[in-house]
Amino acid sequence: MRLALINRTGGLEFLEDHIRAACPGARLEYWPSDAAREAEVAICWDPPDGTLADMPNLRLVHSIGAGVDRILADPTLPDVPVCRIRDDDLAVAMGEYCHWATLWFHRGLDAVTRNATAGHWHRFEQRPASQVPVCVLGLGDTGRHVACRLRDAGYPVRGWSRSPHDIPGVLCHAGPGALPLAIADAQVLICLLPLTPDTTGILGHATLSALPPGAAIVLCSRGEHLDRAAVVTLLRSGHLRGAVLDVFPQEPLPADDPLWHEPGVLVTPHMSALAKPRRIVAQIAENLRRLDRGDPLLNRVDRARGY
Ligand code: GLV
């Protein structure tokens, strides 16, 4: 089988050795090339629009990540199955990151770090986790794990998602109408939603200003969920305490982007949870075997739903 590695900005070489080891019979090509155009399977992160439509033998599009928004955004995406990665380790890593980011605000480490650079000793009042409600937007595998981890750490946890979920000890809300209620008392709002037309810009002025004064946000999903002008306005007005931002519409975030220096914003380099190359390739290899045998593919994306 011929496989093509496709990404707008390249950089998928890190998968090559793993693919050669896991799929010894496969031919691996890099886009852009005529040979890649002939491939039956596209292994992608962010394929430029029209690339997949220009592959006459294409039978499967496989994301190398949990998200498929960059793939589904191509209006010319051909009618072939799209699969994504599902990885329990990813949820664990996201749990660590979101727990850390929650502590960053809850224990005042954002302010303490600022004071430390000025050699200023000031002990802020400390509150127990039970007094710091947290809301998790997106209750898929990852969101569920994050919500349970924070619940187990003693935070009152609210969750919000498109469809109803039932998580013991987490107050779950569903549907657009329930968003204001879900976030009404959140001191920390964590966004783990898939990026779809419905969720693009969901963290805009209306949502962020509905948070209680002094709330903070943690963005680990996609940069496009956030209206950055709104967050900057609400940080500067003092309505928001801070923002830990791990994802951006353009990555890497350019070195001269003012967000790096916006008071209250902590930029991290899309590091919250990334699948390991071995895991990614094991799942792709399994789907290649299934494709070969005509068996149902794993982790197939519902294209209408967008994830
Ligand atoms: C990371 O952002 C992923 O979608 O796996």
Task: State the distance from the centre of ligand 1 to the C-alpha of 131, rounded, in angstroms.
Answer: 31
Domain spanning 91-267: CATH 3.40.50.720: yes
In short, whether 66's Cβ falls inside 6 Å of ligand 1 is yes
How far, in Å, CA of 106 to CA of 209, rounded? 19
DSSP H or E segment with residue 71:
helix 69-72
d(CA 33, CA 54): 12
118 CA distance to ligand 1 middle (Å): 36
What pLDDT is stored for residue 93 in this prediction?
97
Name which CATH class applies to 2-87+275-293: alpha beta
Strand 41-44, strand 240-245: pairing: unpaired
Residue 10, pLDDT score: 93
Is the backbone of residue 205 left (phi > 0), alpha (psi -120 to 50) or beta? alpha
Q: Is the peptide bond before 180 cis (omega within 30 degrees of 0)?
A: no
Closest among 206, 193, 300 to 247, alpha carbons compared: 193
pLDDT at position 88: 86
Count of other CB atoms within 10 angstroms of residue 43:
25
Tracing tokens 């499967």 back to the chain, one arrives at 60
Active site positions, annotated: 222, 270
Tally of CB atoms within 10 A around 233: 15
From the CB of 280, is ligand 1 less than 6 Å away? no
Map out the domains of the chain as residue ranges: 2-87+275-293, 91-267
Q: Do domains 2-87+275-293 and 91-267 have the same CATH topology?
A: yes
pLDDT, position 212: 98
* Average pLDDT by stretches of 10, the chain with 307 residues: 96 96 96 98 97 98 95 97 93 97 98 97 97 98 97 98 97 97 98 96 98 98 98 98 97 96 98 94 97 97 93
